[in-house]
Structure formats: C-alpha cells, structure tokens
Structure 1
Amino acid sequence: MNNESPEFKKSLGLLDATMLVAGSMIGSGIFIVSSDIARHTGSAGWLMVVWLIAGFMTLTAALSYGELSAMFPRAGGQYIYLKEAYSPLVSFTFGWTFFAVIHTATIAAVGVAFSKFTAYLFPILDEDVILWSLGTYEISYAQVLAIAVIFLLTFINTLGVQNGKTVQTIITILKLLSLILLVSFGFWAFDSEVWQSNWASENTWKLQNLSKDGSYSDYTMIGALGALSAAMVGALFSSDSWHTSSAVAGEIKNPKRNIGLSLALGTMIVTVVYLLTNLMYTGVLPLTEMAAAPKDRVAMVAAQEIFGPVGITILAVMIMVSTFGCNNGLILAGARIYYSMAQDGLFFKKIGKLNKNAVPAYALWLQGIVAAAWCLTGRYGDLLDMITCVVVIFYMLCIIGVFILRKKRPDIERPYRAFGYPILPAIYIVMGLSFIVLLVIYKPQFTWPGIGITLAGIPLYYLIKKKNQVL
C-alpha cells in the first residue's frame, strides 16, 4: 500500500546545514542595531561586552541543543525537544507563539528590510513612497516588494529542499565573504584618532546614556541595569534563528552528527564575524556618529567612510543579498515546525502533509500568507521587540530540558553530549533568567505583550485537544 505522501529526503549535508544556520542568523541586524546599543551603553567597551554576552549565550545554547538534536533527530526542532522534556502543552505554546509572531513577524521584518535597502538603488521602493492609502492606513511599495519576495522564496521552497538549500548555501557563502571583505576594508581604512577616541578615553568602560545629539548622561544603578537589558535585545535578535538546522532534521544526512555540528559551526562563524564587524565600526566611526546614524543604519555610515559615496551602493547590495538569504533560511526551516504540530493533531491536518517534492507545501504557503499579513500591518518591528523575552524563555526551557532528560531518560542514546555540561548550560540559564527579570522589571513593554501572546496558547491548546479528542 502506497503512502499518501512521500517522506522527507535526506538532502542536506554538513555544509548545507551550517550555511542554513549562519544564513538564517545574518539578516539586517548587524548593519543596524549597533547604533541603538551605542546609545544605551555610551562606550566602546560596553558595546563589545553586549555583543560578547550575546555571542556567548548563542554559542552555549547551540552546544546544548546539539545533545537534544542528536537524541531526537526529527523535523520540528525545539517543538520536539519541549514535548519530550515537558509535555505537549508546553511544546504547543511554543509552536503557537512561533507561528503567530516569532517566526512569521521575523520573516516580515526581514522582507521589509530587503525592500528598504533596495530603495537605495530604486528610490520608488522606499518605505515612504505610498502605493495605496485608505484614511490613515497606507501601503508602501516597500511592503509590496517584501510580500513578493516572501512569496517567491516560498514558491522556490515548495519545489523541493534541493532548491531551497542551493539558494541558501550560495547566498550565505556570498554574504559571509562580503562581510569579511567589509571588515577587511574597514580595518584597512582604520582611523587611529577615531580608535583612540573610542578606546583610550576615560569613558571607554563607563556605562552611560549617549543621546543622538552627542551628549552623555549618567545612569542610576536601576537605569544602568535597564539600559543593559534593553541593549541586549538588539544583539540577541541579530543572533537569533541559530537553531534552524534542528527544525529540518528529517532532511539532514547523518542528523545525529551533523545537526549538532552545524549548530556549533554556524553560531561560531557568525559570532566571530559579528565581533569583528563591531570592532571595525569602532575603528572607523566615533561612538557619537554610531549613535546618531540616520535611521540607525550604522553600517551605511561606516561604508561611506570606507569606500566614499559608492559605499552606500555597495552596502545596499550586501544587505539585499543578506536579507534575501536570511529569509530563505527562515522560510525553509519554519514550515517544518508547523508540520510536526499537525502530525500531533495540533494544527490543520493538511499542514502535516508533504507534496510530491517531499516538502510541507501547505505549511510553507500558510506561513507565507501570515508573514505577508504582518508586512501589511507595519507592526512587525514592535512585535519583535515584544517577543525577544519569550524567545529566551523557550531557549531556557530547552536547555533546562537537557538536565531533565538526563534524569528522565538516562538510557536514550546520546551520540553527542552538551559541551561543558553542566556548567555552561547552567551559566546560560542564569544569564537568560537575569535578562528576563531585568526586562520584566525595567522594560515591561518588551515583555508582557509577548508573554500574553504565549499564554493565549494555553486555552487554544485545550480547545484543539477537545475538538480533536487527542492526547
């Protein structure tokens, strides 16, 4: 008897999986968020500390996920790990939040970022150029282009994982090379006076507020903690989506080995590139110029210093390539989580089916439609700030799950064990909890909306469970 739909094809090798991780991490954040971090920290030293903390947390989480991915090498990634360590309710609340906001709003934000930087080459595509308006509601050319790119990449990925992986691997290699070249030219254009002003002044290691007008002000102890946690939001967002290869476990060759390795290699590559990029910024731009960059596009200002007027065009093309590849990775990986939810009877039945090309086409198109809807709202940026706290909560839960599963299921095969266990995972948990507590206390606008969206998944879970009479 033939199956109703084909099985996933093992098409992704270690290079493909690593490029999926790195490519999904590098979007537009590294070119923008350092401006906001500079304002919150007011010093080159603390700017780098924020990026070091984000890199350490990301790499530690990836190394811990390596154990989980080797234990459960199935499509779905975090959704599977949370279900195995806790319960279907916990995994569903993650899947619900991932679908409703975390992933789809990220795809929308990256898509619009692609459009914004395309506008440097074609001004009609600027976000301020309105295509259609109805009262106070407006749709720009940038939003339409973002939707077109999302649908194009969705279509490419419905043709088979081979197409998606080819696009991902080629574009990620291109953008890594272009970032390395940008950093190299940046150090070649190194300005000793700028470096001295950033690194040899009395403010180098002083945590303070830096306004766009170039003025400094001291924090109280409470204000300093709040500023540091707010600065971390941008760095962690720029380092997010490092777990994408775990979501496509069903399509990775030798998954028990290659998923963990791809997570480690991808996050290490990106962490090093991010640190070098920010170090380069401090050798090219005074911190006050970083903080005052128009629309926070600090990389644009740096590129002009390095390359002159042509720098804007060079960087615009770089970011277009970067965001295009980032969205391809996000689109490819995200649909596999909804597929796993549907397999458990917790999503629309068709979402759990593969098409003739052995990919979850219904899941891909539903994801694309929701992401397009977020593009039209124009509120994706606010939502991404709101859910950063929730994202870290789920990462923490997965890492705590490593400890739980060591006790709960000690006999299960573990081809790879979390590096530095139990010390490094414990450090991540402490750091993650500290970040969450600081945001809840000092920056509630970054926390409660996302927590509310997540908690809404609880009654939804029981409604679905009752309807389907499952679990």
Structure 2
Amino acid sequence: MNDNSNHEMKRELSLLDGTMIVAGSMIGSGIFIVSSDIARNVGSAGWLIFVWVLTGVITLIAALSYGELSAIFPKAGGQYVYLREAYGKLIAFLYGWGLFTIIQTGTIAAVGVAFAKFTAYIFPFFSEDNVLFSISEFNFSSAQLLAIISIIFLTWLNSRGVENGKFIQTTLTIVKILSLGGLIVAGLFVSFNTEIWDANWAGAWETVQWNPDTSQMINVAYAAVIAGVISAMVGSLFSSDAWNNVTFIAGEMKNPQRNIGLSLFFGTMIVTVIYVLMNLMYVATLSMEEIATAPQDRVAVASALKIFGSGGAIIIAAMIMISTFGCNNGLILAGARVYHAMANDGVFFKKAAGLNKFEVPAWGLWIQCIWASILCLSGRYGDLLDFVVMAVLIFYILTIAGIFILRKKRPELPRTYKAFGYPVLPALYILLALTICIGLLIYKTAYTWPGVLIILIGIPVYYIINRKN
C-alpha cells in the first residue's frame, strides 16, 4: 500500500461533491422497503407521512447543528473530532469503536447484500437461494459473493484516490435522484389513482394498526399509535442515516468551514423532500392494506407494478442496484477517514494513520473492507444494525450537546457559522432524540440494550490500548 504518513490529504471535493456524498450515503435501499413496516405500525396514511416528515425534521435540525462544529473543526474524522474536543478521547473512541465494529461496516455489509439481492431480479444467478457451498450449517451464496466483490471493488477504487470515489458518488447520486424523481412524477401524475388516494386520506388519522399474521386492520388506543410511531422510526431513521459521513472527509473538502455545513443542509433537504414525496406516491398508487402487506415488504416494487405493469419489478431492481452501489461508495469513502483520525490519536491500528501515494488512508479502507466482508458472511449484520439504533442516536445527542459545551469551554474558537436556531433547535433535537430513545427502551427492548452493550465493550478495549501506548 506504500503508506506514507508524511503525505497530506488533497482538498479536491467541492460543494456539489459534498452534497452528493450526503444524499448518496443516505439513499440506499430503505426508502424502497421500510414504509411497509411503518404502515403496519401506524396503520393510516396520515401517520405514515407524519413519521417521514418527523424523521426529516429531526435529521435537518441535526445537520444544521453540525454545521457549527464542522466550521470550527474542519478536519478529517468529523464527528469523532467533535466528540473528542467536547468530551475527551474516551467518548470519541467509543464512537469510533461503534462505527468500526458495526455502524459503518455493518451498514456497508447490509447495503452490499441489498445490492446483490436486487441484482438477482435481473441476473437470477445471484439469488440468495443459490448456495455455492456449505460447511456444516454455514451456507455461502452467490448473493454474498457478489456483495463481497462489490465491497472489494469500491474499496480498491477509493484506494486509488479521492478523485475516483467522488466521480462515482456524484454521477450515481445524480442518476438515482433523477430516477426517483421520475418514479415520483409517474406515480403522482401519470398513474395517480383518485379512488385509492381519497380512501387512504378518508381515515388518515385513524388509530389503527395492521396485524402482520392476518393482514387485518385492528383498532388501537392512541398510546399504541404513539408506540407504533416510535417503533416505526427505527426504519425511517436508518433510511435517513449516514448524512454525517461528509464530516469525516473534511480534510479533503475545499473551503470546509463553509462547504461542509452547506453540504449537510442541501443533502439532507434533498433527501427529506424525496422521501416524503416517495411515500405520497405510495399512498397515491396503493391502498394502505397493499402498503402494509407488500410481499417481502417491497412496497416500491408493488407500486411500480401498478405504474409500469409487469416490467415494474425490473425497473425498481435496476434503481436499487444503482442506489445501493452509490450508497456503499459514499460509506466506504468516508468511514476510513475516522479510523485515520483515531490512529493519529493513538487509539486505533497505527498503520491506519498513514496515507498511500494517492493521499488516501488506504490501510483504513482495506481493514474496513475485510471486516465488512466478514459481516457479509455472518448473516447477522441486519440484526446488529437494529441493535445500534439507540446507540447511534446517543452519539448524535452527545455531539449536538457538545455545541453547548464547547460554547462555554472554548468561547475563543472562531465560529464562521453558528448552529441555526441555537439554542432552541439543537435543544429540540436533543429532546426529540431522547424521547425516541426512551420509547425504544420501553417498546423495543431487544433492539436497545444489545446495541448499548456493543458500545460499552469498547471501554475496556480503550484502556487496554492506552496501556499499550
């Protein structure tokens, strides 16, 4: 890899590139799938759209708040650096530990398998059912093989310089935004079904849920709807996550004090509008029962079949292939920059601090690739992603609370950009995120404590590393 720590990262990424990294990292496969589970939890059209609007508002507030931190610390590592400056190395390490063990690598693995899964629509050889070989109870499918190959290819591409990664990211993100826009226009204007639309909105705020076993609608109390909203937001929040990845590459952004904050705003705003419009398109083409009971939760496929007929599944499969491939490119590009910053602090593998001849952290890219590929083999990464929902929110809360801490702790720092709506909006985000965390503890215990445990395991690891250093 010819690592050389004397090299410096090149500032080659523009505002457009940063915006495309935000949007491209956020848009994966979730928007095509999770609305089905959300519909089962909340029951009616009004609550379905409410979940996506609330998720968008929360994400936008967080992104606008991060703008201040990115202007103060325009360095590679982004959120890791913000946490280190506000709380010290331990909290920052726990974030980086969680990012490497499952948050970033697990997402890369999950998106890689989603890419393979929808490739099988066009090329059946890559089906999850096509087992290439078995050892005891372990099965290795062609879908896992393609997922690993795609991760290796994108890692290799990004190890050859940031110019390659940004070209793929910008091009594919523009393509998938235009593709989603075309699908939205087709659903809301060409194939708009007035009868379905009116029926869905006639009971828009009913307190109902869909029983997944019987596919029947049941009336529930308001408390159950609130519980449903909180449970449903697991899917919408993950579909809207990874917007912070652009902060990881601040060391390669042109004019990062300005462009990181603007990239966060433009990218999250674009995705929020697309997500809300996509769900309005679902409501315009499918009944709530069809949304809630879509086969294998593929609500976008069900909608596309109504719009385009029998070719709809192929169209959606091609869109998701493009979407997931571009999403993984952004995740792979950004993640290694955090490990680079951790290594420079002496809390990660020393080789991750070096840059190769293309001025990128190649060693970090490849160690990330290896672990993500292992997670592809495990078959358990999907569960682990659910486990870290609350852990991810906790680090977002800590980071935004860090704005308040740093204003008191480091008032002398130059703040060319200040958090929009401070202190009201950052405080509102903390309150909303804490409410969701408490709700998850109550209603989805299985998805909370294991994720927190994964993070807490990092505490003894941190002290072992410190002792060695």
TM-score between both structures, scaled by the size of structure 2: 0.98
Pairing 1:137-216 to 2, within 5 Å after superposition: 137-187=138-188, 188-200=190-202, 203-212=203-212, 213-216=214-217
Query: Identity across aligned pairs (percent)?
Result: 57
For 2:198, give the aligned amino acid: Q
Pairing 1:49-448 to 2, within 5 Å after superposition: 49-187=50-188, 188-200=190-202, 203-212=203-212, 213-220=214-221, 222-448=223-449
Offset from partner CA, 1:348-381 (integer Å, 9 cap, x none): 1101100000000000000000000000011111
Provide the C-alpha distance between the structure 1 equivalents of 2:394 and 2:88, rounded to a whole number of angstroms.
Answer: 16
Residue aligned with 2:122, SS: coil
Quick check: 1:79–1:91 contact (8 Å CA) kept in 2?
yes
Residue aligned with 1:216, SS: strand
Residue aligned with 2:121, SS: coil
Provide the C-alpha distance between the structure 2 equivalents of 1:221 and 1:176, rounded to a whole number of angstroms.
Answer: 36
Quick check: 2:78–2:248 contact (8 Å CA) kept in 1?
yes
For 1:147, give the aligned amino acid: I
Quick check: 1:195–1:284 contact (8 Å CA) kept in 2?
yes
Structure 1, unaligned runs of 5 or more: none
Provide the C-alpha distance between the structure 2 equivalents of 1:21 and 1:337, rounded to a whole number of angstroms.
Answer: 16
Q: CA deviation at 1:207?
A: 3.2
Residue aligned with 1:131, SS: strand
Provide the C-alpha distance between the structure 2 equivalents of 1:245 and 1:420, rounded to a whole number of angstroms.
Answer: 22
Quick check: 2:5–2:353 contact (8 Å CA) kept in 1?
no
Provide the C-alpha distance between the structure 1 equivalents of 2:32 and 2:421, rounded to a whole number of angstroms.
Answer: 32
Quick check: 2:340–2:364 contact (8 Å CA) kept in 1?
yes
- Hey, what does 1:461 align to over in structure 2? 462
Residue aligned with 1:120, SS: helix
Q: CA deviation at 1:220?
A: 4.4
Q: CA deviation at 1:159?
A: 0.2
Quick check: 1:74–1:248 contact (8 Å CA) kept in 2?
yes
Aligned length: 464
For 1:63, give the aligned amino acid: L
Quick check: 1:5–1:358 contact (8 Å CA) kept in 2?
no
Quick check: 2:14–2:253 contact (8 Å CA) kept in 1?
yes
Provide the C-alpha distance between the structure 2 equivalents of 1:207 and 1:20, rounded to a whole number of angstroms.
Answer: 38
Q: CA deviation at 1:221?
A: 5.3
Provide the C-alpha distance between the structure 1 equivalents of 2:242 and 2:7, rounded to a whole number of angstroms.
Answer: 28
For 2:442, give the aligned amino acid: I
Residue aligned with 2:209, SS: strand
Q: CA deviation at 1:4?
A: 4.4
Q: CA deviation at 1:222?
A: 4.9
Provide the C-alpha distance between the structure 1 equivalents of 2:131 and 2:5, rounded to a whole number of angstroms.
Answer: 46
Runs (4+) of structure 1 exceeding 4 A deviation are none
Quick check: 1:41–1:231 contact (8 Å CA) kept in 2?
yes
For 1:462, give the aligned amino acid: Y
For 1:208, give the aligned amino acid: V
Residue aligned with 1:217, SS: strand
For 2:242, give the aligned amino acid: S
For 2:296, give the aligned amino acid: K
**Residue 4 to residue 421, structure 1, CA distance change in 2 (3 Å):** closer
Provide the C-alpha distance between the structure 2 equivalents of 1:143 and 1:14, rounded to a whole number of angstroms.
Answer: 35
262-271 or 125-134, larger mean C-alpha shift: 125-134
Provide the C-alpha distance between the structure 2 equivalents of 1:157 and 1:288, rounded to a whole number of angstroms.
Answer: 43
Provide the C-alpha distance between the structure 2 equivalents of 1:191 and 1:128, rounded to a whole number of angstroms.
Answer: 36
Q: CA deviation at 1:211?
A: 2.3
Quick check: 2:390–2:451 contact (8 Å CA) kept in 1?
yes
Provide the C-alpha distance between the structure 2 equivalents of 1:400 and 1:128, rounded to a whole number of angstroms.
Answer: 46
Provide the C-alpha distance between the structure 2 equivalents of 1:5 and 1:332, rounded to a whole number of angstroms.
Answer: 21
Provide the C-alpha distance between the structure 2 equivalents of 1:447 and 1:10, rounded to a whole number of angstroms.
Answer: 39
Provide the C-alpha distance between the structure 1 equivalents of 2:59 and 2:426, rounded to a whole number of angstroms.
Answer: 11
Q: CA deviation at 1:295?
A: 1.0
Offset from partner CA, 1:70-96 (integer Å, 9 cap, x none): 000000011000000111000000000
Q: CA deviation at 1:128?
A: 1.8
Quick check: 2:46–2:205 contact (8 Å CA) kept in 1?
yes
Quick check: 1:5–1:356 contact (8 Å CA) kept in 2?
no
Structure 2, unaligned runs of 5 or more: none
Q: CA deviation at 1:197?
A: 1.3
Q: CA deviation at 1:446?
A: 1.1
Quick check: 2:86–2:406 contact (8 Å CA) kept in 1?
yes
Offset from partner CA, 1:103-127 (integer Å, 9 cap, x none): 1000000000000100000112111
Residue aligned with 2:388, SS: helix
- Hey, what does 2:31 align to over in structure 1? 30
Provide the C-alpha distance between the structure 2 equivalents of 1:351 and 1:447, rounded to a whole number of angstroms.
Answer: 31
Quick check: 1:160–1:357 contact (8 Å CA) kept in 2?
yes
